Structures are given as C-alpha cells and as structure tokens.
Amino acid sequence: MARDGTKWAVRTTFPTAGPQSGKTSTTLTFNTTTGPASIPTVNNLLNDVKTFYNAIAGRVGEQVSRTANAIESAAYDLDMADIHHAFGSPVTLLMWTLGASTATGPLPNEMAAVISFRADYGTDPEHGGTTRPRADDRGRIYIGPLDRSASQVVTLPSGQKYAVLEATFVSDMSTAISALKSAASGHGFDLGVWSRKNAVMKDAIFKSVDQSFDVQRRREVEPPGIHTWDVI
C-alpha cells in the first residue's frame, strides 16, 4: 500500500506562548468517499477545518497567536503501510487567522478540552487477552490552551466546589465537530479514526464531549528557576 489519495491527515499548527517548541498542534484524519482526492478538493477540506477551529476559537486562550495568517493547516496524503513515514511532505496547506479570544485570562497551557469520536466497533471486543481492540476504533483531539471562560464552577450538595468545562463551550465543541463532518462530507471526505497499528482508517460515526478537563503535560510551561534548589 502506498499513497493513493484516499487517506488524508490535516495537521493544524498554532504558534503558542510558553512551550519549548513555541507551538501546539492537532491532527484530524479523513477518508475520501469518491476515490482519490484532487488538490482543489483537499483545499476545500482545509477550509472546513479552519471553520471548525474558528467556531470554538473564543475559548482558546491568548497564548495562541491571533496574528494574521499565523495558523497553518497542512494536508498529508497518508501512506497507511509505512507507520514511521506515513506523513511524508505536505501536499497542500492553508495559512489562516484564528478568531478572537474571549480574553478573560489564560488557563495554564496544559489544560485542555477533549473531543472524542469513534468508529463502529463491529465485532471488536473491548478486551482481547492483553490487548484493547476497541482502542483502535477511537480517536480524539485536544483543544487548547484555553481561556478562563472555558471553565465553570460546580457546587456539590456538600458545598464543596470544583472546576469543569463551561457547558456552552462543551455544546459548541459538539456542534462544531458535527458541522465539520457534514462540511467534509459535502467535499467528498469522511472524518476518520486512523489505527497506525492496523494500517486502517475507519469512518467516525459517534462523538463524545464531556465537561471534564484533560491535561497535556507536553504543553506546560517550565517556570523560571524550577531547577534552583535552596537549603530548607
């Protein structure tokens, strides 16, 4: 199996203050529905991805650049059989501008929201000896770094309080991923779940967005002086 124009990844890179790399990224994958995709068709898909991120941009913190055309979405024709070099070079890319943040103040860079999706499990069991076959049918992306407006406080009957994702933001993410699936379908693509191990990409047909925060440790900022030790 080689690159045949039917399995695509769109990696979006966000210039971000804090991480050593100066950027964060997320990757979405797609099957074509009508055979190999042309470059104009893939460019339509890139615009669909841009629309998806901008639908939830208000809750993305000011750590992420809003400079004109600072965001890059690059499309890759995947080689499904070569897990170590599946991406190769991007076939086409789109530079675009992320919409304004609500700007109530940034949460720590590592705080993220998660959009999960999965394919039909079919006959795959959750546990198969020491393996988890259904794990290969599930995918997710991490949205963030986040603005403080992405958080709300929940009060328990006991009076104790804790932070969760703001309910409207959760709803907006759920709506946005469905809108992306619909828009991509109109351009000949279906949102996919890629299993590198199995060299297969299945169509995503279910979604899940809950109110729990997730943590991406690779996005955290190392404070100045963290390696400084003083006598107790």
In a domain, 225, yes or no: no
- pLDDT of 27 reads 96
Enumerate the β-bridge partners of residue 176: none
Chain segment 175-186, per-residue pLDDT in tens:
999 999 999 999
Residue 58 confidence (pLDDT)? 98
- Give, in order, the Cα–Cα distances in Å from 5 to each of 22, 93, 189: 31, 15, 11
Residue 228 included in any domain: no
- pTM of the predicted structure, to 2 decimals: 0.89
Assigned domain for 14 exists: yes
Q: Is residue 22 part of a domain?
A: yes
pLDDT of 13 above 70: yes
Contact (CB, 8 A) for 106 and 220? no
Residue 2 lies in a domain: no
Section 133-159 average pLDDT: 89
Q: Which domain holds residue 81?
A: 7-219
pLDDT band per the 50, 70, 90 thresholds, residue 79:
very high
Question: What average pLDDT does the segment 6-12 reach?
Answer: 97
| pLDDT band at residue 216 under the 50/70/90 scheme | confident
Residue 75 to residue 12: CA distance in whole angstroms = 9
pLDDT (tens digit, 9 = 90+) per residue, 17-61?
Answer: 987 778 999 999 999 999 999 999 999 999 999 999 999 999 999
Report if residue 157 sits inside a domain.
Answer: yes
Q: How far apart are CA 54 and CA 73, in angstroms?
A: 13
Q: Give me the pLDDT at residue 133, please.
A: 58
Average of per-residue pLDDT across 117-146: 74
> Does residue 134 carry a pLDDT above 80?
no
**How many CA atoms are closer than 13 Å to the CA of 62, on its beta-carbon side?**
7
Beta bridge pairs of residue 138:
118
Share of the chain above pLDDT 70, in %: 89
pLDDT of residue 139: 87
pLDDT at 200 over 90: no
CB 101 within 8 Å of CB 60? yes
Q: For residues 140-152, b (16+ Cβ closer than 10 Å) or e, as one string?
A: ebbbbbbbbbbbe
Q: Which of 10-24, 114-128, 142-156 has the lowest mean pLDDT?
A: 114-128
> Is residue 33 situated within a structural domain?
yes
Q: Using the predicted structure, report yes or no on whether residue 225 has a pLDDT greater than 60.
A: no
Nearest CA-CA partner of 109 in 19, 27, 22: 19
In a domain, 232, yes or no: no
Q: Are 146 and 155 in contact (CB under 8 A)?
A: no
Least trusted range by pLDDT, from 30-34, 72-76, 104-108, 134-138: 134-138
Judged by DSSP in three states, 201 sits in strand
> What was the pLDDT predicted at 132?
55
First to last CA, the chain: 61
> How many structural domains does the chain have?
1
User: To the nearest whole number, what is the mean pLDDT of the chain?
Assistant: 90
| Residue 131 in this model has a pLDDT that exceeds 90 | no
Q: Say which residues have a Cβ less than 8 Å from residue 163's Cβ, sequence separation at least 6.
A: 151, 152, 153, 154, 213
Between helix 167-186 and helix 39-55 the angle, nearest 10°, is: 170
